[in-house]
Amino acid sequence: MTDDLTYVPASPWVAAGGVWSSHFCVGGVVVRLTGADDAAVTLVPSLVPFRTKSGPPDINIQVEWVDDLSSTSGLQLFDSGALWRLYECDAGFQFDFSAPVFGGQPYKRLVVDSDFSLATLQMSGEVYAAFPSAAPLGYPLDELLIMHRLTQEKAIELHSCGIVRPDGTGNLFVGHSGAGKSTTTRLWTAREDVEVLSDDRIIVRRDTTENSGRMRMYGTPWHGEAAYASPGSAPLARIFILEHGHGNVLTRLSPSQAVAELFARSFVPFHRHEYVDSALQFLQEVVDVVPCYRYAFEPNEDAVERILEIRD
């Protein structure tokens, strides 16, 4: 059993009528859970730092305990090959989650409307009785939920690490697995007192804290091997596409090159063409205001110094 499925107190509160509720926020998306008991709204450890006070939610989720989740109808849109399947249904979309340890049938099901604002999460009471650690918002449901909600907004999740310097400068290092994100994180934390928003997945969206048209990057709960996951955010100054190389060579990318590189390292649901089109359009807006470089770097302190020398 992974730590993602371990419960910790989430400080839920009881609203009128005995309804339990809790809130969290990832990448500017506020999620509200409601249920009949505290188990329905308790957050997994990875989400606890992202817990927030009650407020207007972007996504409302009603958690329910049910006896049977075996029946499935609707057109299958996607099969992850492991933990979840996606179906089209009358309400919008249906996500079924299963795991060998819980048997062959789904142990939870998310039914959500087409704009990912209103959902019902059905939890198998039988599975929960045998495995109390089968948390409602355990991974990968939490990431899938946020990732799909971002398709409705000017925002995107990127495979990247976000480094915020002491002066507030935010640099985003984007790369596939093995490209050097965790190495980059270690080099920067050894060099100066930086804040690491995440060493693996960052959400980028328009900065609503000011009217400058700038972009802002947000930490997420879904970290890499360096295990950095912060609920913080920072204005985004530059983007670097990481690759291993010699000499710490920086190459400024054209807008079209930058969009292609970023899209290849983004988390975008591909089962709807409009989601893809929206992501490409937003990435174009990102590269129009944020300088983007290809960075062929060596894993040494000179890699950091080279970034510090940049004058756009």
Tell me the pLDDT band of 284, cut-offs 50, 70 and 90. Answer: very high
Residue spans of beta strands (DSSP E) within the chain: 13-14, 20-26, 29-35, 59-66, 76-79, 84-88, 92-97, 108-113, 118-124, 155-164, 170-174, 195-198, 201-206, 215-218, 233-244, 249-252, 266-267, 292-297
Tell me the pLDDT band of 237, cut-offs 50, 70 and 90. Answer: very high
Tell whether the model's pLDDT for residue 11 goes beyond 70.
no
What pTM value is reported for the model?
A: 0.92
Tell me the pLDDT band of 18, cut-offs 50, 70 and 90. Answer: low
The answer to whether the beta carbons of residues 9 and 42 sit under 8 Å apart is yes
pLDDT 10s digits, 41-69: 999 999 999 999 867 899 999 999 998 88
Q: Alpha carbon of 106 to those of 81, 87, 137, 191, 233: distances in Å? A: 14, 13, 15, 47, 35
Calpha distance 76→89 (Å, rounded): 9
Cβ-proximal residues to 219 (8 Å cutoff; 6+ apart), any chain: 162, 196, 197, 198, 202, 228, 229, 230, 231, 232, 233
First vs last C-alpha separation in the chain: 48
As a whole number, mean pLDDT of residues 173-178 equals 95
Tell whether the model's pLDDT for residue 239 goes beyond 70.
yes
Q: According to the model, what pLDDT value does residue 190 have?
A: 95
pLDDT 10s digits, 116-136: 999 999 999 888 888 877 789
The answer to whether the beta carbons of residues 171 and 198 sit under 8 Å apart is no
Tell me the pLDDT band of 155, cut-offs 50, 70 and 90. Answer: very high
∠ CA 309-262-194, rounded to 5°:
40
Tell me the pLDDT band of 142, cut-offs 50, 70 and 90. Answer: very high
Domains plus CATH for the chain? 3-152 (no CATH), 155-308 (3.90.228.20)
